[in-house]
Structure 1
Amino acid sequence: MGETQKRSIPTIDLQDFPAEYKKLREASEEWGCFRIVNHKIPLTLMSEMKQVVRCLLELPVEIKQRNTDVIAGSGYMPLTQLNPLYEAVGLYDVTSSQAVDTFCSQFDASPHQRQIIKMYAQAIRELAVDIAEKLAESMGLIGNVFHVWPCQFRINKYHFTSQTVGSSGVQIHTDSGFLTILQDDENVGGLEVIDKSGAFIAVDPSPGTLLVNLGDIATAWSNGRFYNVKHRVQCKEARIRVSIAIFLLGPVEGAVEAPTELVDSEHPRLYLPIIYEDYRKLRVSKKLQAGEALALLRSHS
C-alpha cells in the first residue's frame, strides 16, 4: 500500500434528491464512503453531543467500566497492548429507549446530558435509516427493512501524544455492519480510507458534515456491488482526538441476503444468507477484521 494521497472522498447533498441518486450509487460502488452535507441534525446538537461525550470519556476508569458489553465489543474498551492509544464506550442499540437510559445511568449522566444523548441518538438513527433507504433506492429498490435493524453507538477517544505521532490509533479494518455514520473530530485529523488501488486517502475534518462508511453487510446485501471500505486512524499530532460513530448493523431476526432484483445471469448470487451476529462472531474468532471473512461465505451455486 502506498503513501497517503490528497484526493477527496465524494460529497452527497441530502437536500438534492432525487438528483443525487446516481452520485450516491457511484460513491457506494467505487469508494464505499462519502461525506454528507445538508443533513437534518442541528449543528448545535452535534456540538453539545461532542461536549457531553468529552465529559463521559474523562470520567474515572471505574465508572467507565460500568459500561458492560451486551454483545462483545459493545461496551467499554480500555487501552490495551494491541490498541494502546484507543479507548471507547458504547451502547448496543440506540433504538431501545431502555438501553439508552441504562447507558446514561452507567455514567451518572445529568438530566441535561441525558436529554442531549437521547436527542442525538434518535436523530442520528433516523438519519442512518434514511441513508440506507436512499442506498436501496439508488439500486432501484424500495428499502423499507432498515428501520428494525439495531444501531450500535460508539464513542472513541484517541490518546495521541508527541511520542505516538506516526503510529496507528486503530488498525486497518472494515466495519462489520451495513453502514456507519461518523461525527469526526472537528479539529484533529487522522482518519484514512483505502481506495480500490490500495492508496491511503486522508479524510480531513470538515466541521458540520458527517461521514458514511459502508461495511461488510452492505457488500453482501448489494450482491457485491457496494464497496466495504477499509480504513484506519493514524496519529498525526499530539492532541486528544474524539469521534462519535453509529453503526446500522443488520437484522436481529433472519438473515441478510441480496434481494432477488440484484441477482441475475450476469450477477449470480455471491454470498450465502448471513445472520449478522454469527458473521460478527466469525470475524472476531478468525481475526479477520478487514472484510476477509466475507470470502468464507461465498456462494458456489
Structure 2
Amino acid sequence: MATTQYTHVELLTLHGPEYRRVSTAPPRPPRDDEIPILDFAAIHGDDAARLALAARVRTAAQNTGFFYIRNHGIPQDLIDSALAQAKAFFHQPDEEKDKVSNFKLKHMDGYHAMGTTQVNKSETKDRKESFSLRYNTRNDPTVDPSESPADAWDDSPLWAGTAHLPSFRETTIAFWQARLALARKMVRIFALALDLPETYFDDVVTHPGADGLYVHYPPTPEAELDKDDVDVGIGSHTDIQCITLLWQDMSGGLQVLSSSDEWLDARPIPDTLVVNIGDFLQRLSNNRFRSTVHRVYNRQNTSRYSMPFFLGFNPESVCKVVPTCVDEEHPALYEPISCGQWHRNRLALAQGKTIAA
C-alpha cells in the first residue's frame, strides 16, 4: 500500500504565517457528511422546522464548514440573468472594463483585472478577473431613502461606465439584493445553531459588509492542461467575513481542505448554492465553527464563471465571542473587534501594508 505524502499550505495571519498539512493526492469527491446538501425550504417554516435546520447547519459548520443549500429562494431566472450580465461584462475589450477599474473608484467596487490579485503569496497570482458590488445603502431596500444615510455614496461613475450594457445595473443590483435578503435570513439560522436567540445578530446586519462579485476564470490553454503546475485560479485561503454564498457554473474547480488534510472536489450541483463559514464567524464561535481553506483551479479549455457573495457585520459593530461558546473549560480565545476593523486588517495584510491597531 502506497504511503500518503503530504506537503504544507502557507497562510498569512495577523499573528504571522500558519501552515496547514495537505495531502499531495488528487482531490477526491466529498462524503455526504463532509459537504452535505441541506434543504433550506425550512428557513420559512415554523419554530420546530427552523430549529431542526439550525441543528443540521451546526453539524456542517463544525465539520468542514462547507455545505450546499437547495430551495434557497433566489429565482433561477434571476441567476440566469446575472450570469448573462457577467459574461457580457467580461467579454468586453480590456479598455471598456478598465473604465470601471477599482483603482479609479473610491470604494473597491468595479473591475479587478487579471493578475491584480494574489490571495496566497506562496502560490501563483490568481488567474481570474472580477467585478464587485459592495454594500451601499442606496441599494438596500430595507433603508428608507428619505433618511439620507451618511454611509451612502455616489455610485454613478460605476454605472456610467457600464451603461452601454443593457440591464447590467438593474440585474446586478437585483441579484445583490436577493443574496443580501437570503444572507440576513441565514444569519438567524446561524444564531439558532449557536444556541442563541434567533434575532441575536439582527442589529449587526442592518448595513453590513456585503460584497457581491462576478468572477471569470479564463480557459487554460490546451498545451498546459496536462501540466501539474497550472496557475491557480484563486490561491489557497480562508474567507475573511462571516458567511459566503457561492453560485458556481458546472465547470468544477472548487477544492476544499478536509479535516483529514485532503483536498475535496466541491463539485457543482444544479440548483444549489455553496455556503461556507468565514473567519469572523469562526472567531465569534470561539473556533466551534470552521473557516476552511479552499482554492480554485480552472483545468479546462473553456471559461469558468462564479458569483460569490460575502456577508460581514456592520463595520462599526464591535463583536465578541458569543456567550454560548464560552465557559470555564473554554475561555474566549479572541478579543472583541469590529467587523470593519477585522476586514481592514486582513485586507492590509494581504496587500503587505501596515496594520492599524
TM-score class, shorter: 0.7 to 0.9
**1:20-50 superposed Cα distances (whole Å, 9 cap, x missing partner):** 2211101011111110001111111111111
CA contact (8 A) 1:95 1:151 kept: no
Q: What does 1:109-120 align with in structure 2 at a 5 Å threshold?
A: 110=165, 112-120=167-175
- Confirm or deny that 1:48 pairs with 2:81: yes
Residues 231 and 95 of structure 1, relative CA distance in 2, 3 Å threshold: farther
Q: Which of these residues, 78, 93, 111, is aligned with residue 135 of structure 2? A: 93
Deviating 4+ runs (over 4 angstroms): 69-74, 98-102
Secondary structure, aligned partner of 2:289? coil
Q: What does 1:256-267 align with in structure 2 at a 5 Å threshold?
A: 256-267=319-330
Secondary structure, aligned partner of 1:15? helix
Which letter maps to 1:64? K
**1:197-229 superposed Cα distances (whole Å, 9 cap, x missing partner):** 211000111122111111101111112111001
Indicate the residue corresponding to 2:90 in structure 1: 57
**1:153-190 superposed Cα distances (whole Å, 9 cap, x missing partner):** 121111122244352211100110101111111x2110
Deviation at residue 99 of structure 1 after TM alignment: 6.7
**1:95-120 superposed Cα distances (whole Å, 9 cap, x missing partner):** 54267765433322545333322221
Deviation at residue 235 of structure 1 after TM alignment: 2.4
Secondary structure, aligned partner of 2:332? coil
Residues 249 and 207 of structure 1, relative CA distance in 2, 3 Å threshold: same
**1:4-30 superposed Cα distances (whole Å, 9 cap, x missing partner):** 122141111111332222111010111
Deviation at residue 247 of structure 1 after TM alignment: 0.5
- Confirm or deny that 1:177 pairs with 2:177: no
CA distance in 1, matches of 2:238, 2:106: 18
Rg larger in 1 or in 2? 2
Count of aligned pairs = 290
Greater mean deviation of Cα atoms: 121-130 or 96-105: 96-105
Indicate the residue corresponding to 1:68 in structure 2: 102
Q: Which of these residues, 216, 219, 222, is aligned with residue 157 of structure 1? A: 216
CA contact (8 A) 2:130 2:213 kept: yes
Residues 183 and 158 of structure 1, relative CA distance in 2, 3 Å threshold: same
Secondary structure, aligned partner of 2:59? helix
Q: What does 1:28-43 align with in structure 2 at a 5 Å threshold?
A: 28-43=61-76
Q: TM-score, normalised by structure 1?
A: 0.87
RMSD: 2.6
Q: Which of these residues, 240, 251, 258, is aligned with residue 195 of structure 1? A: 258
CA contact (8 A) 1:92 1:99 kept: no
Over the matched positions of the two proteins, sequence identity in percent amounts to: 26
Q: TM-score, normalised by structure 2?
A: 0.74
Q: Which of these residues, 131, 148, 151, is aligned with residue 207 of structure 2? A: 148
Q: What does 1:262-281 align with in structure 2 at a 5 Å threshold?
A: 262-281=325-344
CA distance in 2, matches of 1:122, 1:139: 26
Greater mean deviation of Cα atoms: 14-23 or 202-211: 14-23
Which letter maps to 2:280? I
CA contact (8 A) 1:94 1:153 kept: no
CA distance in 1, matches of 2:293, 2:107: 21
- Structure 2 unaligned runs (5+)? 1-21, 43-48, 117-123, 140-152
Residues 110 and 157 of structure 1, relative CA distance in 2, 3 Å threshold: closer
- Confirm or deny that 1:136 pairs with 2:224: no
Deviation at residue 84 of structure 1 after TM alignment: 5.5
Residues 41 and 84 of structure 1, relative CA distance in 2, 3 Å threshold: closer
Secondary structure, aligned partner of 1:126? helix
